[in-house]
């Protein structure tokens, strides 16, 4: 059996996993940690009796794919509920509480509503591209799930260039947004698309540069090896506890928020300015697909931040996948918190932050990581902290607000 | 491979420039697929990251900014067609020497081949070819500074 395609499920208590417990007899930590792997092995063991080898391999791949295909939309559905609940609490409301206990069935009601809505395509729209755009935006969002390590031995595909794969695939989202905005023949859509492109190009650069220190220190691009590089101190030697890791984490997280168009960087779909940005002309399930991609992106980007800087599935006592989901949902909570508390930034502030502040800071961070690598313990901690503080101070000085001179209108009087 | 050929032909023949760009995306993704089949994962990923992620986005950005051609269907051909074919033939002839002189590994080593792994690429980039690498970075910095200077002149 090919164990390199382990399975992961959205819900922890399915029937197969209880079988896994019984066969192991002892309800140990080890079992609980590998529960999904065992479940998958049992399925493959059962099917292996009557299926030829190639079909077994196919089943193994299919199990992983279907686990991801279930996990993605399922996460998205409950992220919408979580977001509405948390935002509601922050705004002194209760949030959805009518459908099911605590509104737990609300996502299903929303899904049915979305599916039964009328699908409206503008008369002047480019029909084919208008139809393809929602598909092309969901595809990369689902593809990147493949390289996220959800737990010990729980990476669907352990690519040796996993991290780059993630960045490359998620960078194609821009094209889908362009397709949506251009094919709609709507000026708000077009404006949203332009804003989105400018934002995504700008924030991709600091985001990629902020993960380079991690690659330097872990010496690998595989997400599994990066997690493994943080395994000392009983799984608590996370990269975020080093000066360069801390800075890298902050920059990466900010860029991740900007990449998935979330508040305070939600200019591409700023409701009060350009209706709904690039998905103005979409309705029904196509609209839901845009939202699905957005929520899945925020999940996978949080998952990647956890993998790179917060030790991935490492952690004491609890099973690995519980650690991963705990950390990821903590980051998602911070994203929702941002949305509940911060106002939207202006376009010039957005661009200024990316190009004038985050980009030079990531370059300084790269230098500091090199310094850290080549010096020994007491020097490197103090030295890198001093260097980073210096870089931060210089950049804030250079970036101070310039008060423009008062304009004189010669011909307007 | 067939897909990228079809998409490549579509790129140069489609009347709408936005459609042409999208088929360029398909062609580039097809080439990334070829890299993947040849076990050059790093090259494939870089192909997607740089060409699909960055270059095509830049092209689309340019299309959107030039109002005149974003909505119309315009002829993609002009009188320079034969000249372009001639240029392609000359280019192929130039490439032919390289193709002939490259030692292609015929048997074995498909999974073991170390022609395009990350480590070997990094080794040759920062070892054998360090001088061209540095020259390129100096040129890029010059371009960046030049762009900033030009942009600054307008705003004042």
Is A225 a domain residue? Answer: yes
Same domain, A169 and A235: yes
Contacts of B118 in chain A (CB under 8 A): 160-161, 221
The pLDDT, as a whole number, for residue B4 is 75
Residue % of chain A over a pLDDT of 70: 90
Task: Give the gap in angstroms from C-alpha A171 to the nearest C-alpha of chain B.
Answer: 5
What's the pLDDT score for residue B135? 92
Phi first, then psi, for residue B16 (nearest 5°) are -95, 125
Highest mean pLDDT among A157-166, B66-75, B112-121: A157-166
* pLDDT reported for residue A202: 84
For A355, nearest residue in chain B (alpha carbons): B148
Q: Is residue A138 pLDDT above 80, yes or no? A: yes
Bond preceding residue A252 cis, omega within 30 of 0: no
Test the B interface: residue of A128, A139, A140, A168 with most B CBs within 10 Å:
A168
Give yes or no: residues A69 and A164 share one domain.
no
> Distance, in angstroms, between A191 CA and closest chain B CA?
10
- Let me know if residue A412 belongs to a domain: no
pLDDT band for B143, please (50, 70, 90 cuts): very high
* A403 found inside a domain: no
CB A15 within 8 A of CB A48: no
Subunit contact B57:A174, Cβ cutoff 8 A? yes
* Tokens describing residue B134: 């540095």
pLDDT of B69 reads 54
Question: First-to-last CA distance in chain B?
Answer: 50
Interface test with A, best of B7, B17, B39, B53 (most A CBs within 10 A): B53
Tokens 């979305």 map to which residue?
A: A114
Q: What is the pLDDT of residues A290-299, one digit of tens each?
A: 888 888 888 8
Residue A409 lies in a domain: no
pLDDT surpasses 50 at A24: no
Question: Would you say A314 and A230 are in contact if contact means Cβ atoms under 8 Å apart?
Answer: yes
Range of the domain at A45: 1-109
For A25, A220, A381, B125, the CA distances from B38, given in Å and listed in that order, are 46, 21, 44, 21
- Per-residue pLDDT of A206-221, as tens digits, reads 888 888 888 888 877 8
Average pLDDT over chain A reads: 79
Contacts of B48 in chain A (CB under 8 A): 168-169, 171-172
Which of A109, A144, A177 lies at the terminal end of a domain, its last residue? A109
Query: End of a domain among A109, A137, A155?
Result: A109
Q: How confident is the model at residue A2 (pLDDT cuts 50, 70, 90)?
A: very low
Please give the residue that has the higher pLDDT: either B107 or A38.
A38
Residues A167 and A209 in one domain: yes
A83 in a structural domain: yes
Q: What is the pLDDT of residue A10?
A: 38
**With 60 as the cut, is the pLDDT of residue A326 above it?**
yes
A405 belongs to a structural domain: no
Higher pLDDT, A303 or A191: A303
Q: Are residues A62 and A174 in the same domain?
A: no
Confidence of residue B115 (pLDDT cuts 50, 70, 90): low
The helix/strand/coil state of A307 is helix
More confident residue, B69 or A406: A406
Q: Is the pLDDT of residue B139 over 90?
A: yes
Q: Compute the distance between CA of residue B57 and CA of residue B49 in angstroms, rounded to an integer.
A: 11
Closest by Cα among A43, A151, A176, A158 to B52: A176
What pLDDT shows up at residue B138?
A: 93
User: Looking at A109, A144, A174, which one is the last position of a domain?
Assistant: A109
Tell me which of A317 and A165 has the higher pLDDT. Answer: A165
Claim to verify: residue A144 and residue A86 sit in the same structural domain: no
Instruction: Please state, for a pLDDT cut of 90, what percent of chain B lies above it.
Output: 6
- Cα distance between residue A132 and residue A287, in whole Å: 12
Mean pLDDT of A127-146: 85
Instruction: Report whether A224 contacts A160 (CB < 8 A).
Output: no
The count of domains in chain A is: 2
Task: Based on the fold, state whether residues A180 and A291 are members of the same structural domain.
Answer: yes
The answer to whether the Cβ–Cβ distance between A161 and B118 falls below 8 Å is: yes
A175 with A287, same domain: the answer is yes
pLDDT band at B142, cuts 50/70/90? very high
Beta strand residue intervals within A220-309, DSSP E:
none
For residues A393 and A387, give the distance between their C-alpha atoms in angstroms, rounded to a whole number.
Answer: 10
Indicate if the pLDDT at residue B71 is higher than 70: no
Mean pLDDT of A82-91: 87
Q: Are A245 and A308 part of one and the same domain?
A: yes
A308 in any annotated domain: yes
* Residue A19 pLDDT: 41
Q: Is the pLDDT of residue A284 over 60?
A: yes
Q: Which fold has domain B1-74?
A: 1.20.120
Return the domain boundaries, chain B.
1-74, 125-156
Residues A225 and A361 grouped into a single domain: yes
Angstrom distance (rounded) from CA A263 to CA A268: 10
* Same domain for A329 and A386: yes
Contact with chain A for residue B42, Cβ under 8 A: yes
Cα separation, A35 vs A20, whole angstroms:
7
Q: Does residue A277 share a domain with residue A140?
A: yes
Selection from A217, A220, A225 nearest residue B117 by Cα: A220
pLDDT at residue A3, rounded to an integer: 40
pLDDT at A27: 53
- When pLDDT is averaged across residues A96-106 and rounded to a whole number, the result is 82
The whole-angstrom separation of Cα A135 and Cα A289 is 8
Distances in whole angstroms, Cα of residue A388 to Cα of each of A244, A365, B115: 8, 7, 38
In this structure, the answer to whether residues A101 and A204 fall within a common structural domain is no
């Amino acid at each position: 059996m090919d164990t390199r395609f382990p399975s992961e499920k959205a819900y922890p208590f399915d029937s197969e996993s209880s079988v896994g417990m019984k066969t192991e007899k002892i309800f140990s930590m080890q079992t609980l940690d590998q529960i999904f792997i065992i479940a998958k092995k049992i399925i493959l063991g059962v099917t292996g009796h009557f299926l030829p080898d190639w079909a077994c391999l196919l089943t193994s791949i299919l199990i992983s794919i279907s686990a991801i295909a279930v996990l993605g939309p399922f996460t998205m559905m409950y992220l919408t509920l979580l977001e509405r609940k948390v935002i509601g609490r922050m705004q002194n409301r209760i949030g959805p509480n009518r459908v099911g206990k605590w509104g737990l069935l609300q996502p299903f009601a929303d899904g049915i509503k979305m599916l039964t809505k009328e699908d409206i395509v503008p008369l002047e729209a480019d029909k084919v591209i208008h139809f393809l755009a929602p598909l092309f935006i969901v595809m990369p969002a689902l593809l990147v799930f493949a390289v996220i390590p959800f737990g010990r031995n729980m990476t669907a595909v352990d690519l040796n260039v996993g991290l780059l794969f993630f960045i490359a695939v998620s960078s194609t989202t821009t094209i889908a947004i362009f397709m949506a905005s251009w094919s709609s023949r709507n000026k708000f859509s077009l404006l949203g698309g332009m804003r989105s492109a400018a934002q995504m190009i700008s924030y991709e650069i600091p985001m990629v540069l902020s993960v380079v220190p991690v690659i330097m220190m872990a010496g690998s691009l595989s997400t599994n090896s990066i997690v493994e590089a943080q395994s000392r101190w009983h799984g608590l030697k996370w990269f975020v506890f080093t000066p360069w890791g801390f800075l890298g984490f902050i920059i990466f997280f900010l860029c991740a928020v900007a990449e998935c168009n979330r508040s305070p960087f939600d200019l591409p779909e700023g409701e009060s300015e350009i209706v709904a940005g690039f998905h103005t002309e979409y309705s029904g399930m196509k609209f839901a697909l845009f939202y699905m991609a957005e929520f899945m992106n925020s999940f996978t980007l949080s998952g990647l931040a956890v993998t790179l800087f917060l030790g991935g599935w490492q952690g004491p006592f609890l099973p690995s996948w519980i650690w991963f989901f705990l950390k990821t949902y903590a980051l998602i909570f911070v994203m929702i918190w941002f949305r509940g508390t911060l106002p939207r930034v202006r376009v010039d502030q957005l661009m200024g932050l990316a190009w004038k502040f985050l980009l030079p800071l990531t370059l300084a961070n790269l230098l500091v990581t090199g310094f850290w690598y080549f010096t020994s313990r007491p020097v490197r901690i103090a030295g890198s902290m001093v260097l980073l503080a210096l870089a931060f101070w210089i950049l804030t000085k250079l970036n101070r607000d310039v008060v423009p001179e008062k304009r004189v209108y010669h011909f307007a009087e | 491979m067939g897909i990228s050929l079809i998409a490549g032909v579509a790129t140069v023949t489609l009347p709408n420039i936005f459609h042409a760009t999208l088929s360029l995306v398909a062609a580039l993704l097809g080439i990334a697929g070829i890299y993947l089949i040849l076990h050059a994962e790093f090259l494939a990923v870089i192909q997607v990251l740089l060409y699909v992620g960055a270059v095509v986005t830049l092209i689309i950005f340019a299309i959107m900014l030039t109002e005149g051609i974003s909505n119309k269907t315009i002829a993609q051909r002009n009188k320079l067609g034969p000249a372009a074919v001639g240029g392609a033939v000359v280019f192929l002839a130039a490439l032919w020497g390289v193709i002939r002189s490259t030692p292609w590994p015929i048997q074995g080593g498909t999974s073991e081949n170390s022609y395009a792994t990350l480590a070997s690429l990094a080794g040759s980039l920062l070892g054998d070819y360090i001088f061209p690498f540095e020259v390129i970075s100096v040129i890029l910095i010059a371009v960046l500074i030049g762009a900033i200077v030009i942009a600054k002149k307008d705003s004042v």
